Amino acid sequence: MRSRYLLFALTFLFWGAAPLTAQTRTLRGTVVDTATGMPIQAANVGVRGTSIGTTTGPDGSFSLGIPAGTTTLLVRRFGYRFRTIVVQPGETEIRVALASDPLQLDEVVVTGQATAVERRNLPNAVATVNAEDVARVSAQSFEHALQGKIPGAVIQTNSGAPGGGVQVRMRGVSSINAQSEPLYVVDGVLVSNVAIPSNQNAVTNAAGGSNPALTQDAQVNRVADLNPSDIETVEVLKGASASAIYGSRASNGVVLITTKRGRSGAANVRMTQRFGFYQLSNTLGARKFNTLAEAQSVWGAGAATYFQPGVTYDHEKELAGHTPLSSETLMDVGGGTDATRYYLSGAWKDDGGIIKNSGFERQSLRANLYQRLGQRLNLEVGNNIIRTEASRGLTNNDNAGVSFYMVFPFTPSFVNLGKNPDGTFRAHPFQASNPLQTAELMKNDEIVWRYLGSGRLTYDAFHNATQNLRFVASGGADYFAQKNDLLFPPELEFEGDDGQLGTSLLSNSDNLNINSGVNGIHTLTPASGRFTATTSFGASYSQRELNVARIISRNLVGGLELVNAGTVVGVRETRQRVEDVSMFAQEEVLLMNDRMLLIAGVNADKSSVNSDDEKLYVYPKVAGSYRIEDLASGIDALKLRIAYGESGNQPLYGQKFTPLIATQNITGLPGLIVDGLVGSTDLAPERQREIEGGVDLTLLDDRGTLELTVFRKDVSELLLQRTLAPSSGFATEIFNGGKLRTTGVEVGLQAVPISRPDLQWVLRSTYFSNKSTIKELTVPTFRVGGFGTSLGAFEIAEGKSATQIVGNDSLADGSTVVRQIGDANPDFVMSFSTDVTWKRFRLNGLLDWQKGSDVINLTKFLYDLGANTADYADPITVGGVATTKGAQRLTVFGKQTAVYVEDASFVKLREVSLGYEVPPRIMSRMWGGVESAHLTLSGRNLFTSTKYTGLDPEVSNFGNQNIARNIDVAPFPPSRSFWFGVEIVF
């Protein structure tokens, strides 16, 4: 069926094509900077409405075959204002001067699946992040590099573990039970962002407790594989009003990533070498025991063996105080001719972890090719092979006393957990588990091989002075194989707990995403020039398939890692496949001298995960913007914009079925048993309706911009989980119902306070806040995530915030009630960035400020239970009675959960970078042929200011979640990183 589809697509592509315009002429030209007159290299010069184009060489010159008649050229270069040049018939040589554009006013931004407009006409608040901002400071995954750069998106790590695990949540809550992840599109390929647990749960038994979620393995969501230095631009469609054209997978927003391309000209080689290290940035500390009596009051008489007055050990630093050398090597080459262009890149990143045996590596090779296959046809191909390897220690919740920070709460500071003189580790006297030993001897490796391939065939079916028609057939594949290789050798202290010494866990997962489609784009500009109408339409097919096979092997003979060396072996496999078909049509009209833009579009799609897989769900959108120039003195332009759109969020694979469980047996006898899930026969995607409006101002001679956006999104037909009476034998039914509303405001401010040839200062600030409320719930109040009300839980209740945290609280009469005690949603988030260029120096800084947002700090609860919190013994007086802080918290535990719910407001210095461009004369003396060289000192997350008493206010024990983030249970400790880098271009 798939191949048939492609065949149809290709047939369709060439069918009905108009004859080619044969007459062309050659136009030569130069592009220069208006201020300095210096040539601008790598500027794009293209014929409007076609794919005909080229880029300028190092001397700013270009040569291009253009139609014989009057032709409109577009000249653009990132960092400059773009220009439209009308070339008269017979003209053969032009000179184009571009003005500098530090505020990126003329950036081109997507409006649909196949079209784009200049930012100044854009009817939506689409955030863009360019290559320089993504790659400025080394980041483990590209999401880290987006933190603080997208107004409206809360981007937070789930823990400090190397290798990723970051949630991008756009515009608050969009769903309760469906997908929580945005749709990631890399060069047109719908890439996978699944997070596959490592299966460390087989050792931690985290899911064996009161929350059976299998997502407590500190898993990595797989966009972390992408190599940030390959990225040219990231465009973020935040809500349905912008993303409607992506239909039922767009509800959480769409992140469009475009990778770098080659430019015609001589080979341009760029090499970057960075060295640095990661360093533990926060510890919890532990209680200091002053006397033996105090120690024995907590640890029993046995404490006498270990207690020595004044001798303490900092177990956290012993565990996570490592700073191994980290490095990053990047190299790319781009070049080619007008007909053939290439971009090749290689990257090797090796991040040492702060905990022994932890760390992250990425190797990536990319080849992007462009080939003109004739006057009207061109082909672009992208190939990327990536290998990542993350070693992530053993953190997060457990029920076996093995996770590092699950043991520390029950480890007094006077106990030495270090090695004996003979090299073996000391046994933990109070817990059969020594985290230092575990870290040194265990293995938790996640190795991913990934291939991303994209192809794009563009065919200029027709063009003349007023119309042109282009077809684009595109498609791609994203395949990865993930291997999770975990070993807990027999000599680990905790290994005897189940009577089976040694555990080896092997999981092999493979994921394949394929998508293909055909778009047509027709542009009409009547001779009068009164308007430009762009019609786009298309259809696509996508499929995603994920298979996970796991082996759990215990009681390892000879301590061998092979899973068949165990005497007790368990296997498990799950499979899923989803197929979608989608089609869209969109009309964009730019009129009134490019002052007004109107867009209307519609997407319709169907999917195998809906109960009715034949039914088309339709998602319309309309948007408009109007631009007024020179409104008043100081206001260069004012744009009013409004957009409305709908999008969906599909049910998850399996939700439509009522299964029997067929994977269990009793001493080998197969048995079918009832599962708790009842499938609904009319499951449909959730529907989001978003309206967004805004005002954009360009101020003070292009020296400042202000973007103000308000939005309201209403999500209805939520995929809700109805809790069934347990006496029915079932637990839950998934169905469509209920409504939630998220409203918010986003502000972006940019200014260039100083702009002189030798000193330029650019300031940017963003502010956003949003609030999600459950407007209608057709089921009783229910809880998502958490460990019950005594430990704090998220509760979905009509009329309440979608992210409210409830817990037990005491009334004046002494009785206990369950009520709201916090909210995970921040009050607001602000960021400030500064970019100062002075002569050859450049200083960048990015500050990220989150106000509000509560975290359930269960790590602290565990320390309290161990009577081991740093402040446990600090005296306080409650109601005239002297007690200690920790004892008091435990006294009210179960009655006042709020003692463990903390404000997680923070200010983080996300990025700092100081660059120096080595003068060419020095470079040429040292190394001839080098075009430029930069030296950079940089750092990430250097400084955090917060009142939160846990390790890091960015935390999620359960990984990426629609609602139930912000639960802190023994996370991987956070780190900061420092880098020194050299970049050479030749």
Partner 1 sequence: MHRPLSTRTLSRLIAGAALVLCACGDLTVPDFNNPSIEDLQAGASPTTIRQAAQGMLIGTRAQMGAQNGYVSLLGILGRESYNFDPADTRFFTEMLVGPLDGGSPAFGANLFAQRYRNIRLGNTILAAIGPVAGLTAAEKEAVRGFVKTIQAHDLLMVINTRDDLGAPIDVDVAPTGPPAPIATKAEVFARIVTLLNDAQTHLQAGGASFPFSLGPGFAGFSTPTTFIPFNRALRARVDVYMGNFGTALTTLGTSFIDPAASLDLGVYHVFGSGSGDTENALFDPNFRAILAHPALETDAQLKPDGTRDNRVLRKVTIAVPAPPTVQGVTTTVGFSIYNSPTAPIPIIRNEELILLRAEANIGLNTPPSLAAAQTDINLIRANSGGLAPIALTGQAQALDELLYNKRYSLMFEGGHRWIDARRYNRLGLLPLAVPSHTVPSRFPFPEAECLVRTPAPPGC
- CA distances from residue 40 to 45, 98, 365, 460, 790 in whole angstroms, order as listed: 12, 8, 29, 28, 64
3-state secondary structure of 900: helix
- CA distances from residue 127 to 117, 238, 256, 748 in whole angstroms, order as listed: 14, 8, 10, 10
Asked whether position 208 contacts partner 1 by CB under 8 A, the answer is yes
* Region near partner 1 per CB under 8 A, out of 272-280, 294-302, 626-634, 699-707: 294-302
Q: Which of 576, 600, 580, 578 is nearest to 588 (CA)?
A: 600
Query: How far apart, in whole angstroms, are the C-alpha atoms of residue 328 and residue 132?
Result: 16
For partner 1, the closer CB: 258 or 603: 603
Query: How far apart, in whole angstroms, are the C-alpha atoms of residue 234 and residue 185?
Result: 10
Among 70, 291, 420, 664, binds partner 1 (CB under 8 A): 664
Are 430 and 314 in contact by the 8 Å Cβ rule? The answer is: no
Asked whether position 89 contacts partner 1 by CB under 8 A, the answer is no
3-state secondary structure of 957: coil
Min dist. Cβ of residue 857 to partner 1 (A): 15
Among 35, 86, 672, 922, binds partner 1 (CB under 8 A): 672
Asked whether position 409 contacts partner 1 by CB under 8 A, the answer is yes
Min dist. Cβ of residue 418 to partner 1 (A): 19
Query: How far apart, in whole angstroms, are the C-alpha atoms of residue 899 and residue 897?
Result: 5
Asked whether position 306 contacts partner 1 by CB under 8 A, the answer is no
Three-state SS annotation for 490-515: CCCHHHHHHCCCCEEEEEEEEEEEEE
Asked whether position 295 contacts partner 1 by CB under 8 A, the answer is no
Asked whether position 729 contacts partner 1 by CB under 8 A, the answer is yes
Asked whether position 814 contacts partner 1 by CB under 8 A, the answer is no
Are 786 and 792 in contact by the 8 Å Cβ rule? The answer is: yes
Q: Who's near 926: CB < 8 A, 6+ residues apart?
A: none
For partner 1, the closer CB: 570 or 920: 570
Q: Which of residues 557-616 bind partner 1 (CB under 8 A)?
A: 567-572, 574-581, 583, 606-609, 613-614
Among 374, 780, 919, 920, binds partner 1 (CB under 8 A): 780
3-state secondary structure of 262: coil
**630 φψ region: left (φ > 0), alpha (ψ -120 to 50), beta (else):** left
Query: How far apart, in whole angstroms, are the C-alpha atoms of residue 581 and residue 516?
Result: 10
DSSP codes of every residue in 589-606: EEETTTTEEEEEEEEEEE
For partner 1, the closer CB: 529 or 659: 659
Asked whether position 490 contacts partner 1 by CB under 8 A, the answer is no
Min dist. Cβ of residue 646 to partner 1 (A): 20
Asked whether position 375 contacts partner 1 by CB under 8 A, the answer is no
Query: How far apart, in whole angstroms, are the C-alpha atoms of residue 116 and residue 696?
Result: 18
* Region near partner 1 per CB under 8 A, out of 315-323, 337-345, 427-435, 505-513: 427-435
| DSSP assignment letter at 80 | B
Query: How far apart, in whole angstroms, are the C-alpha atoms of residue 13 and residue 461?
Result: 9
* Region near partner 1 per CB under 8 A, out of 83-91, 633-641, 664-672, 711-719: 664-672
- CA distances from residue 952 to 856, 966, 976 in whole angstroms, order as listed: 12, 10, 12
Asked whether position 866 contacts partner 1 by CB under 8 A, the answer is yes
Min dist. Cβ of residue 266 to partner 1 (A): 36
Are 830 and 151 in contact by the 8 Å Cβ rule? The answer is: no
Which tokens go with 716? Answer: 């209805």
* Region near partner 1 per CB under 8 A, out of 213-221, 225-233, 347-355, 716-724: 716-724
Min dist. Cβ of residue 8 to partner 1 (A): 5
Among 818, 914, 930, 982, binds partner 1 (CB under 8 A): 818
Residue found under tokens 């007094």: 412
For partner 1, the closer CB: 298 or 706: 298
Are 439 and 405 in contact by the 8 Å Cβ rule? The answer is: no
For partner 1, the closer CB: 62 or 861: 861
**962 φψ region: left (φ > 0), alpha (ψ -120 to 50), beta (else):** alpha
3-state secondary structure of 835: strand
Among 620, 788, 845, 852, binds partner 1 (CB under 8 A): 788
Among 537, 617, 768, 948, binds partner 1 (CB under 8 A): 537
Query: How far apart, in whole angstroms, are the C-alpha atoms of residue 851 and residue 828?
Result: 5
3-state secondary structure of 885: helix
Asked whether position 500 contacts partner 1 by CB under 8 A, the answer is yes
Min dist. Cβ of residue 460 to partner 1 (A): 12
Q: Which of residues 890-949 bind partner 1 (CB under 8 A)?
A: 893-894
Q: Who's near 811: CB < 8 A, 6+ residues apart?
A: 817
Asked whether position 825 contacts partner 1 by CB under 8 A, the answer is no
| DSSP assignment letter at 295 | H
Are 617 and 684 in contact by the 8 Å Cβ rule? The answer is: yes
DSSP element (H, E) containing 946: strand 932-946
Asked whether position 406 contacts partner 1 by CB under 8 A, the answer is yes
Min dist. Cβ of residue 441 to partner 1 (A): 18
Q: Who's near 552: CB < 8 A, 6+ residues apart?
A: 199, 202, 503, 505, 569, 570, 571, 572
For partner 1, the closer CB: 733 or 983: 733
Among 223, 400, 492, 740, binds partner 1 (CB under 8 A): 400
Min dist. Cβ of residue 975 to partner 1 (A): 25
Asked whether position 526 contacts partner 1 by CB under 8 A, the answer is no
Q: Which of residues 460-479 bind partner 1 (CB under 8 A)?
A: 462-467, 469
Min dist. Cβ of residue 669 to partner 1 (A): 5
For partner 1, the closer CB: 633 or 665: 665
Residue 879 exposed, middle or buried by CB count within 10 Å (0-12, 13-18, 19+): exposed
Among 180, 504, 507, 790, binds partner 1 (CB under 8 A): 790
Q: Which of residues 18-57 bind partner 1 (CB under 8 A)?
A: 18-19, 21
Min dist. Cβ of residue 301 to partner 1 (A): 9
Q: Which of residues 836-865 bind partner 1 (CB under 8 A)?
A: 862, 865
Asked whether position 673 contacts partner 1 by CB under 8 A, the answer is yes
Asked whether position 756 contacts partner 1 by CB under 8 A, the answer is no
Asked whether position 758 contacts partner 1 by CB under 8 A, the answer is no
* Region near partner 1 per CB under 8 A, out of 149-157, 424-432, 637-645, 845-853: 424-432
Q: Who's near 924: CB < 8 A, 6+ residues apart?
A: 930
For partner 1, the closer CB: 634 or 659: 659
Q: Taken in order 115, 118, 124, 125, is the CA torsion positive or negative? A: positive
Min dist. Cβ of residue 326 to partner 1 (A): 33
For partner 1, the closer CB: 126 or 970: 970
Among 62, 78, 82, 299, binds partner 1 (CB under 8 A): 299
For partner 1, the closer CB: 592 or 817: 817
Min dist. Cβ of residue 4 to partner 1 (A): 6
Asked whether position 300 contacts partner 1 by CB under 8 A, the answer is yes
Asked whether position 398 contacts partner 1 by CB under 8 A, the answer is yes
Min dist. Cβ of residue 455 to partner 1 (A): 17
For the chain, how long is the longest CA-to-CA vector?
100
Number of residues that bind partner 1 (CB under 8 A): 118
Query: How far apart, in whole angstroms, are the C-alpha atoms of residue 824 and residue 792?
Result: 12
Among 275, 430, 449, 761, binds partner 1 (CB under 8 A): 430
**Residues 634-663: x/- map of binding to partner 1 (CB under 8 A)?**
-------------------xx--xxxxxxx
Are 707 and 696 in contact by the 8 Å Cβ rule? The answer is: yes
